[in-house]
Amino acid sequence: MSLFDLTGKKAIVTGGTRGLGRGMAEALLEAGVEVVIFGTTAKAKDVAAELAAKGYKCHAEVMDLADSASRKAAFDAALVKLGGSLDILVNAAGIQRRHKCEEFPIEDWRDVIEVNLTALFEMCQMAGRVMIAQGKGKIVNIASLLSFFGGFTVPAYAASKGGVMQLTRALSNEWAGKGVNVNAIAPGYMATEMNTALINDAGRNAEIIARIPAHRWGTPDDMKGPLLFLCAAASDYMDGAIVPVDGGYLGR
């Protein structure tokens, strides 16, 4: 169906070396998209080589997402690899720091805000310029249930993800009329490396699963369908939407 056909599209995925980011990069590759994965270590090249060996068009850029100059250099290099065009940007990279609010180090606050929000804005801005010139493009940001809730011991993460939700809406207000769809996915409790502490906490784990109507943690595979929908023509009239993929958690 042409509504869902992504064959030949070009994409950048930040944080594409592990967890949800890798799952989403794989989803795009499986759909026929050429992808550049951004990662902070040489693992990005290893992952890209592994996926390319399967016959997919996959490249990598090693960069420091916390550094503006590195972000810009990686974006420019990725654009060259993609032949100068960009159809899709997926902002999946993110970091987490946990401390009590009254003890939260300002250095950790700055790190989380820089990677989760400032870097995401700059990536959107760079991609937006290309997409506006083309007259079309899809940007998918990764928000969180903590875009809606405050959480515990994660004030910086909650603030950053609340910011992602509002930034997604702000960008869509200005770019929807220029052919650029900006939306976000808000994953629920996902069984990834970032949530290892919660998964290993028997009491907290039981509380979380009891609250989820689907009665399980999510997986990277659960993100694939919603992502492909938001990257395809099927979602051309969706702008500024924050789509929960949470097993029903928010509706409980």
Give the H/E segment covering residue 207: helix 202-211
Enumerate the β-bridge partners of residue 187.
245
Place of tokens 């958690």: 249
Residue type (1 letter), 89: L
206-223: buried (b, 16+ CB within 10 Å) or exposed (e) per residue? eebeeebeeeebbebebb
Q: Is 157 a catalytic residue?
A: yes
Among 56, 157, 189, 249, the one annotated catalytic: 157
Q: How many CB atoms lie within 10 A of CB 55?
A: 8
Helix (H, G, I), strand (E, B) or coil at 228: helix
Query: Which letter, b or e, does each residue of 20-52 get, where b requires 16 or more Cβ atoms within 10 Å of its Cβ?
Result: bbbbbbbbbbebebbbbbbbbeeebbebbeebe
CA–CA distance, 205 with 215 (Å, rounded to integer): 11
The two tokens of residue 83 are 């032949």
DSSP 98-165: ---GGG--HHHHHHHHIIIIIHHHHHHHHHHHHHHHHT-EEEEEE--GGGT---SS-HHHHHHHHHHH
Q: Which residues are catalytic?
A: 157
